[in-house]
Amino acid sequence: MATAHPGNEPNPGMIFETLLAFQRTAALRAAIELDVFRAIGEGPGDVASLAKHCSASERGIRILCDYLTVIGLLTKEGERYHHTATSGLFLDPRSPACVASISRFLGNPAMTEPVQHLADIVRTGHTTLHGQGSVEPENPVWVDFAHSMAPMMAPMTAPLGQIVLEGLAGPVRVLDIAAGHGLFGIEVAKQHPQAHIVAVDWAPVLEVAKANAHKAGVGARYHALPGSAFDVDFGEAYDIVLLTNFLHHFDHAACVGLLRKVHAALKPGGRAAALEFVPNEDRVSPPMPAMFSMSMLTTTASGDAYTFRELEAMYREAGFGRITAHPVRTGPHTVVMGIAG
């Protein structure tokens, strides 16, 4: 029959579990919404007290918490549920590292609805969303992104700041394109007291970034430049341009066009740094960057998770040299940096 490729034993359970994997997403989203992870952290963790804390039924809580235990997001001892290392640090709202808010952005209908039409999307090759999809002008989803994805990105800001600032002294002008929550530019301002940040994004998104800059004490060196990165006048003589989580929304030609514009805004020797999910050249590893292209297929017209070789080619076509990759140890992302020739 069908030529089986050498590998593991055939496993029909894997098919069953994949066809029900949508329950995993639903279980985690429901647990976050019901405040289960705070209740677990506060203890004692039995079904009756959890149900009370969450204003929920005991049957529902028991089945939900058993399910979360099976998928590795809780543990169970006797009749009591406890945090795993992951849920305690990243899902309990009492933890400063809590990333539960990302459930809101990743569960936003603009992100999830197109996936329901995946066969159609594979047929046509682009999102069922209107026009450019999630990157249509002024899409309100990015205000949500700015609010809810910040905790996921926070651990990556310090490494990015160190990479882009390495060896720089004196006044530094930084352009932060598609600033979103603003955390990357803000971190550069925190690491370098003579850095001034110009942040580009849609005006309502920049309100979030400005508020974060003021909270971080760098508001005086933080300047908003509202508009589309493709249309707005960047100004010039920047030392650093940040392009965080941005290029993956567009095709090769659009990325090259934008990188040319970035190149023109940099001083000679200036640095353009993209933070991206960068899969290996095989495009199927490591898992997180490789799987990210599915999000780009479903929500954009022509975006992708680009390999280093593809990003390098874009930079080169736009006039950059000395293009290097810097994997970020604190997250699944890679910084790809080019120097303006």
Looking only at residues 50 through 109 of this chain, which bind its own copies when binding is defined by CB under 8 A?
Answer: 54-64, 66-67, 69-73, 75-76, 82-92, 94-97, 99, 102-103, 106-107
- Which CB, 43 or 217, lies closer to its own copies? 43
| In the complex, minimum distance from the CB of residue 29 to its own copies, in angstroms, rounded to a whole number | 7
Does position 313 interact with its own copies (CB under 8 A)? The reply is: no
Give the DSSP per-residue string, 106-160: HT-HHHHGGGGGHHHHHHHSS-SSSTTBTTSTT-THHHHHHHHSHHHHHHHHHHH
The H or E element that residue 36 is part of is helix 36-42
Residues 8-27 that bind its own copies (CB under 8 A): 8-27
The 10 Å Cβ neighbour count of residue 268 is: 8
User: Do 222 and 210 touch, CB atoms closer than 8 A?
Assistant: yes
- Which CB, 155 or 227, lies closer to its own copies? 155
Give the DSSP per-residue string, 185-224: HHHHHHH-TTEEEEEEE-HHHHHHHHHHHHHTT-GGGEEE
| In the complex, minimum distance from the CB of residue 283 to its own copies, in angstroms, rounded to a whole number | 5
| In the complex, minimum distance from the CB of residue 234 to its own copies, in angstroms, rounded to a whole number | 30
Query: Helices 183-191 and 150-165, interaxial angle, to 10°?
Result: 40
Mark the segment that binds its own copies (CB under 8 A) among 7-15, 134-142, 199-207, 235-243: 7-15
Using a 10 angstrom Cβ sphere, with 0-12 exposed, 13-18 middle and 19 or more buried, the burial of residue 249 is buried
- Which CB, 16 or 230, lies closer to its own copies? 16
Residues 138-197 that bind its own copies (CB under 8 A): 152, 155
- Which CB, 295 or 334, lies closer to its own copies? 295
- Which CB, 262 or 301, lies closer to its own copies? 301
| In the complex, minimum distance from the CB of residue 294 to its own copies, in angstroms, rounded to a whole number | 5
| In the complex, minimum distance from the CB of residue 328 to its own copies, in angstroms, rounded to a whole number | 13
Residue 86, token pair as written in the block = 């992951």
| In the complex, minimum distance from the CB of residue 67 to its own copies, in angstroms, rounded to a whole number | 5
| In the complex, minimum distance from the CB of residue 222 to its own copies, in angstroms, rounded to a whole number | 27
Query: Helices 308-317 and 252-265, interaxial angle, to 10°?
Result: 50
Residues 317-336 that bind its own copies (CB under 8 A): 331-332
Residues 277-296 that bind its own copies (CB under 8 A): 282-285, 287-288, 290-291, 293-296
Using a 10 angstrom Cβ sphere, with 0-12 exposed, 13-18 middle and 19 or more buried, the burial of residue 233 is exposed
Out of 176, 201, 304, 310, the only residue in the binding site for its own copies (CB under 8 A) is 304
Residue 242, token pair as written in the block = 């940040």
